[in-house]
Structure 1
């Protein structure tokens, strides 16, 4: 057992686990850990202007690499500032590790008003994480970190938080580094496989619905094989896009607020790693005769949002492999490739008719970025339409905020995505309501040479709020108007590039120019106030 300080033990473990970067704000209760990172030289430290953005950068890194990402903050206000991002990571099942300082161990529980004191801070994170732990001795630091890392790797990869009192960082101790290997995956029950194979094999119009859980499980190959074997279209949630190529004949497209016409035609839905959550004002409504098989490693998700005929709580890879073997060549599917193509193309035409400007913008972005680009759409109108219409052909290349729908998350998330993918173009789609949340991080982007491009759509309003007030409250507007700076000058003041699009058909050209500059760039795109997808499509 090596003898070392608590701070050195933490850094040694992070290095052993392959952590390459830590996002954070240095301060008194974590300075020993920051110094240990400096002395080790193996990990890059990136200081941010706010703890929330530090955690969002970690979120972007994790969501686009599939690796554990780390943020470090002070206790009390610092930890509380990070909660929105940790909540987003929890909603999206992202492996984010938050390391928080804590007040001196001798003062815990006495409510003496010590600097940054927040009594039982750990209780707040119990509702936002898969695991949280606090060190009581220096020797506990590697123990709680190993437990956190193991939980981050096992099953549903939700975030973890550990807390270390200020005085324990510098204390020496005999440190034990235990295994952080993930727990063995849970296999399905043979009877469940037999029943699933029978239901799928007898279906006339089977379909596969894949979500974020399928991405994290790494089952793209198995989903494609099963789709070909069953002759079943694959529809994906925004978080599951890229699991099957768009060129594949059984590519069924995006779930599109559950309005994808494939849902109407199917007689059985095989759900892999999706909680079937409501989206906007819509939810999945199937007829009683339409059956649902749900596979999820989280037992609590089975049947949570929709009835299921068969729920399988097991590892997705083991389950799909077993179903494929049990099926053999049996399928009663009547799907024809031409029929799937027709339904998919019909949905696209419906979107183009309902929202010609938004679809034109999305098309312009994709034509420039291609399949290698990474898109991070904020909670903004073009972001909503991107969730249901942006063509994604590669996993880990499209990052939303899941059901947390956190306004302002996109820009810092995109910065973290770029750190994790330095050779890929990364674009944040922002509105003028969300971008200012983290706009100070433009300084971080310039300082750290993080060449993210922000497509900033401005309508001088909280557009969704304006729409609600117009439709539901008789046009009684309050709190919806925004005063914006000149964002070209704003960008230039930080040393970034600023551009403005005068006509929407210029967007592709401006985006191409920004990619060549290889600097942090804001492209401002004025737009009229636009309807959301759920208002536009449901109104039809």
Structure 2
């Protein structure tokens, strides 16, 4: 079929099931936008900054389990996506960035073309799994096919492709191939048998579930295996919601708390699924794990990287859990008091936090009471989110969206827009600090233009509030972290969203409930400073002050 390069892009996206893209048009990528207009079938979400567009695509991917797609023009626009792609890369989120390029004949010559960037494609390398250029109209579908295959195989991470602007406007005969068949990585039966043998002989097995469980859609399989073994389930921050936090065997994301470490010390076998044992999750790799470790992981580079595995099971989490469970059907354990031990542990954690920082616990309890069970909670980097990432109960997969590995300020609001586009029927609530909110507050305009009812909570301490207490603890004084902020209520009015300022955590709950029920975009501001989340290992930095 005869078509332009821009049409080849749009038809290739449609062939892969894409119905939503995020981006900003520019001089060099208008060929794609003309094809979007002419062909229909794909919604385009107009961002206000390319970083926002890529964060939206990431939020969409995390909430839906599908590929998120962002479009950018050449040079500065393409580079604006890098922090967002790095966030997706760290957290194993599949995002496709399609960037234009200068005319093909000028690439690499440094002649001074508009938007020219030396080695633009190479700039994507540190933050994407795969990068390629489509240098002809006819090559676009093949490059796109490989891009999707890369995202759907092994660890799901972002990819990037670039297309010269003149190629987007040229015409050629093009064939749009069917998507590549990508099979889940099937574990080695011998590895599975060894893992099952360890679990069969375990006295007190324990499970640690990471984001790979959610990425694989393996929550049901994980729960079934835990019930079979009567094994408690800890989760990482990105693993929250893999199994509902109110399940009697779920201990939540509390594994670094002293009481949880003591609990863990009584276990003899750990089954870790879809987690990389990162610095923040393992207390800089100081967390002591049980003597025997089974590590189920789809990325071969991660097995034995941070903790030596007694048995490494390379493969898709869902397939691995199904195979392990099949070998243990005759080993079902009766209730041995594990659920009661988990309940006691959770009570200890809550009691510890309540005694030392009651305001933080009040915040978590207030939000949980105000939020419907299916609410998607999107976090930016703020002390309030730090409390919630460990203690706030999450009940469904893909309802806890957090920029964990890269810890990128400005993620919250645009990622929430992407999540709401993916799941319009579910409430979406953003947790932001005042500083992080101002990184990408312009995307409120996008939410208003789209008519998206997103509730944004701004915890306003007039500072980069995560940094100020660290400076005071480490150096004895704070410096260059205090902020002069706009009037957030007037800012909300200017953007056309509902604004509400509350003066206490007690007032926050009813305000959140009212905002969700109004089904409109809203900004709720809570002035004041929250205590540092004392269940985090970083709280040790304040011990010298006491």
Instruction: Give deviations 1:436-486, integer Å, cap 9, x for gaps.
Output: 0001111111112122111000111111221111111012x2111101111
Q: Is the 8 A contact 1:384 1:532 kept in 2?
A: yes
Query: 2:345 maps to which residue?
Result: 343
Over 3 Å counting, the alpha-carbon distance change for 1:529 and 1:359 in structure 2 is: closer
Q: Is the 8 A contact 2:249 2:338 kept in 1?
A: no
Query: 1:265 maps to which residue?
Result: 266
**Aligned partners of 1:305, 1:281: CA distance in 2, in Å?**
9
Q: Per-residue deviation at 1:431?
A: 0.4
460-469 or 424-433: bigger deviation:
460-469
Residue 504 (1) aligns with residue 505 (2): yes
Over 3 Å counting, the alpha-carbon distance change for 1:245 and 1:348 in structure 2 is: same
Over 3 Å counting, the alpha-carbon distance change for 1:335 and 1:525 in structure 2 is: same
Taking structure 1 as the reference length, the TM-score comes to 0.96
Instruction: Give deviations 1:235-275, integer Å, cap 9, x for gaps.
Output: 11111111222332222222454653432322111011000
Residue 315 (1) aligns with residue 316 (2): yes
Q: Per-residue deviation at 1:317?
A: 2.0
Q: Per-residue deviation at 1:284?
A: 4.8
Q: Is the 8 A contact 2:233 2:250 kept in 1?
A: yes
Residue 132 (1) aligns with residue 131 (2): yes
**Aligned partners of 2:337, 2:204: CA distance in 1, in Å?**
6
Alignment gaps of 5+ in structure 1? none
**Aligned partners of 2:540, 2:494: CA distance in 1, in Å?**
41
Query: 2:369 maps to which residue?
Result: 367
Q: Is the 8 A contact 1:354 1:537 kept in 2?
A: no
**Aligned partners of 1:358, 1:79: CA distance in 2, in Å?**
39
Residue 95 (1) aligns with residue 113 (2): no
Query: 2:440 maps to which residue?
Result: 438
Q: Is the 8 A contact 1:450 1:520 kept in 2?
A: yes
* 3-state SS, counterpart of residue 457 of structure 2: strand
Instruction: Give deviations 1:330-366, integer Å, cap 9, x for gaps.
Output: 3689653212221122222222333311221122122
Over 3 Å counting, the alpha-carbon distance change for 1:323 and 1:335 in structure 2 is: farther
Query: 1:279 maps to which residue?
Result: 280
* 3-state SS, counterpart of residue 361 of structure 2: helix
Query: 1:408 maps to which residue?
Result: 410
* 3-state SS, counterpart of residue 163 of structure 1: strand
Instruction: Give deviations 1:400-458, integer Å, cap 9, x for gaps.
Output: 01210001211111111111111111111000110000011111111121221110001
**Aligned partners of 1:22, 1:77: CA distance in 2, in Å?**
20
Query: 1:59 maps to which residue?
Result: 58
**Aligned partners of 1:340, 1:15: CA distance in 2, in Å?**
47
Q: Is the 8 A contact 2:267 2:290 kept in 1?
A: no
**Aligned partners of 2:487, 2:61: CA distance in 1, in Å?**
33
Q: What is the aligned residue count?
A: 538
Query: 2:248 maps to which residue?
Result: 249
Two-structure CA RMSD over aligned residues (Å): 1.9
**Aligned partners of 1:288, 1:223: CA distance in 2, in Å?**
20
Q: Is the 8 A contact 1:59 1:96 kept in 2?
A: yes
* 3-state SS, counterpart of residue 29 of structure 2: helix
Query: 1:196 maps to which residue?
Result: 195
Q: Per-residue deviation at 1:164?
A: 0.5
Query: 1:495 maps to which residue?
Result: 496
Over 3 Å counting, the alpha-carbon distance change for 1:19 and 1:310 in structure 2 is: same
Q: Is the 8 A contact 1:256 1:388 kept in 2?
A: no
Q: Per-residue deviation at 1:307?
A: 2.1
Instruction: Give deviations 1:311-345, integer Å, cap 9, x for gaps.
Output: 11112222212211222323689653212221122
* 3-state SS, counterpart of residue 468 of structure 1: helix
**Aligned partners of 2:444, 2:326: CA distance in 1, in Å?**
52
Q: Is the 8 A contact 1:354 1:536 kept in 2?
A: no
**Aligned partners of 2:401, 2:301: CA distance in 1, in Å?**
24
Q: Is the 8 A contact 1:460 1:484 kept in 2?
A: yes
**Aligned partners of 2:89, 2:245: CA distance in 1, in Å?**
29
Q: Per-residue deviation at 1:165?
A: 0.2
* 3-state SS, counterpart of residue 373 of structure 2: helix
* 3-state SS, counterpart of residue 238 of structure 1: coil
* 3-state SS, counterpart of residue 176 of structure 1: coil
Q: Is the 8 A contact 1:154 1:182 kept in 2?
A: no
Query: 1:44 maps to which residue?
Result: 43
* 3-state SS, counterpart of residue 149 of structure 1: helix
**Aligned partners of 1:87, 1:93: CA distance in 2, in Å?**
10
Over 3 Å counting, the alpha-carbon distance change for 1:255 and 1:154 in structure 2 is: farther
Q: Is the 8 A contact 1:451 1:520 kept in 2?
A: yes
* 3-state SS, counterpart of residue 53 of structure 2: helix
Over 3 Å counting, the alpha-carbon distance change for 1:235 and 1:287 in structure 2 is: closer
**Aligned partners of 1:288, 1:124: CA distance in 2, in Å?**
38
**Aligned partners of 1:306, 1:501: CA distance in 2, in Å?**
46
Query: 1:381 maps to which residue?
Result: 383
Q: Per-residue deviation at 1:538?
A: 7.6
Q: Is the 8 A contact 1:258 1:282 kept in 2?
A: no
Aligned residue runs from structure 1 range 19-34, under 5 A: 19-34=18-33
Aligned residue runs from structure 1 range 145-164, under 5 A: 145-164=144-163
Alignment gaps of 5+ in structure 2? none
Taking structure 2 as the reference length, the TM-score comes to 0.95
